Structure 1
């Protein structure tokens, strides 16, 4: 007997609510008590589920801590795919990143958004995991840029270089914001935008046919 569609939808929404609650509970505990001292048992207790159930959603607390960063990267990939196909690669990636910085900080709250970034940067285990996650995201963005430009990323380094430069600038812009006394959304977007523009100042909007030069 098939399960009614409304029941499937209800279960999916319940799972998503539980997952979101675990992420929020985990982040709250990490920020309050520190990442290393927080346990899965404590996170699960905040959501009133068993640790065993928690492991159905996440492999461990690192995945919980990095979940919001992973969601941000997913949104950047989706935003890039949604950019006009004729848009130059630099403009498309720049717009995608800046839009998601603004949207993510707006939905999360600037202070909390920055505290999560700071937590990742100051926690060695999370920093290592975040670097692995970022590398995977950059690979996806590289593939997307290469497809948009009709080039082979194995033979043409430009997509990989562009993505690497923009993501390095994103990191530097966020670090600058963490050190800035302002906690205003516009200020954060301004610093990230400035970092990207400085990093890509010598890059042309459109690429030439020779993959040995821009």
Structure 2
């Protein structure tokens, strides 16, 4: 089951979900898992909301209590991971520079995703496979890029807050957030096209991200000759 990621916190600060909340979370997870299974088996366009709801034995009305449309349920795991990344970024030590903090936060995100969703349709491998589905589905790609643009603004805000800067005046937070987003997207595309990395699942994805970050400094500031 695709258990929702939990934001970093102390043991004393952990929030225990009530029975009703746990039931709602299980229903949401089941809908995400069912949607991913159907999308990967028969394609996004050929899958209907009714089929997703039926796979979980709930009504269409129940589906729309959790998700506005098919796009939202398709991107749910990625959106959860992005929200978790933001929490990780906020929690990084103040002495880390912005790039170090983002690199550590994205690695922590993928390792946590791998640990909490080790297998199954809601697992990390399925989440990685969804990147391929998104790239090959114009509707999903457009929705994902819109969300990524919004996410860049959030990242820029977190960086500006960490560094005590005004993002409306200082261009660095927004510029670095945009570069970071491009690095992560290209890492996903490289992972999808690399059979050996693909077979390694989350470890291959993390290694691919690390390789891209290793090249970022030389690519931006070093001589290409």
Equivalence for 2:146: 132
CA distance in 2, matches of 1:79, 1:85: 12
Partner of 2:180: 166
* 1:149 paired to 2:149: no
Judged with a 3 Å threshold, the aligned counterparts in structure 2 of structure 1 residues 152 and 30 are, in CA distance, closer, same or farther, namely same
Over 3 Å counting, the alpha-carbon distance change for 1:33 and 1:124 in structure 2 is: same
> What are the within-5 Å matches in structure 2 for residues 39-118 of structure 1?
39-106=48-115, 107-108=117-118, 109-118=123-132
> 1:124 deviation in Å?
0.4
The CA distance in 2 between the partners of 1:46 and 1:67, in whole Å, is 17
Larger-Rg structure: 1
TM-superposed deviation, 1:202: 6.4
Contact 2:35 2:74 in 1 (8 A): yes
- Contact in 1 for aligned 2:78/2:127 (Cα 8 Å): no
Instruction: Find the partner of 2:24 among 15, 37, 40.
Output: 15
Q: Kindly tell me: are residues 200 and 70 of structure 1, through their superposed partners in 2, closer, same or farther at Cα, counting changes over 3 Å?
A: farther
Displaced runs of 4+ in structure 1, greater than 6 A? none
Q: How does the TM-score come out when normalised to structure 2?
A: 0.83
Q: How many Å apart are 1:203 and its aligned residue?
A: 6.9
Distance 1:174 1:119, change over 3 A: same
Check the 8 A contact 1:165/1:199 in 2, yes or no.
no
1:199 and 2:216 aligned: yes
How far residue 150 of structure 1 moved from its aligned partner, in angstroms, is 0.6
The 8 Å contact of residues 105 and 113 in structure 1, kept in 2 or not, is answered as no
1:38 aligns with 2:47: yes
Q: State the match for 2:36 in structure 1.
A: 27
Unaligned runs of 5+ in 1: 1-7, 205-214
Report the secondary structure of 1:35's partner residue. Answer: coil
Gaps of 5+ in 2: 1-16
Provide the aligned C-alpha RMSD in A: 1.7
CA–CA distance in structure 1, aligned partners of residues 19 and 53 of structure 2: 22
TM-score (norm. length: structure 1)? 0.87
Q: Would the aligned equivalents of 1:25 and 1:46 in 2 still touch at CA under 8 Å?
A: yes
1:114 shift after superposition: 2.2
1:59 Cα shift? 0.4
Aligned length: 197
CA contact (8 A) 1:44 1:50 kept: yes
